[in-house]
Amino acid sequence: MLSKERIAELKIYFTRCVQSRSLSTVVHLAECGLELIEMVEALQQENEQLQAQVARVREALRKARETISARDSWFECDRCANMREALATIDKAIGGKEDV
């Protein structure tokens, strides 16, 4: 993955190439390079946002699991199989124990 520093360096380089207008092929390649850098930046930003969203969902699931698990009667009642299955699904999603 390109670091933010390396992306900034490449952006400067490609911008200078575009501004030089010395060779049309170099200018075209530099313009393409700038477009690619912008796409990488956008994808990195989207990735950061998605990672933050995953962290929030994981935390919400952890809290839900704690709340549900606090009721010991869920495990004693034969009719509560759906709740036990829900807890197992939450555990799998957040990387917790899978044997509820």
The model's pLDDT over 1-53, given as tens digits with 9 standing for 90+, comes to 678 888 888 888 888 877 776 677 777 777 888 888 888 889 999 999 999 99
Tens of pLDDT, residue by residue over 66-100, are: 877 776 665 666 667 777 787 788 888 887 654 44
Q: Return the pLDDT at 51.
A: 95
Q: Return the pLDDT at 49.
A: 95
Q: Any residues with CB less than 8 A from the CB of 33 and at least 6 apart, and which?
A: 10, 13, 14, 17
Q: Please name which of 43, 40, 20 lies closest in space to residue 30, comparing C-alpha atoms.
A: 20
Rg (CA), the chain: 25
Q: Return the pLDDT at 99.
A: 43
Which residue in this structure is represented by tokens 């699931």?
Answer: 61
Q: Three-class SS of residue 92?
A: helix
Average pLDDT value for residue range 48-65: 89
CB 7 within 8 A of CB 37: yes
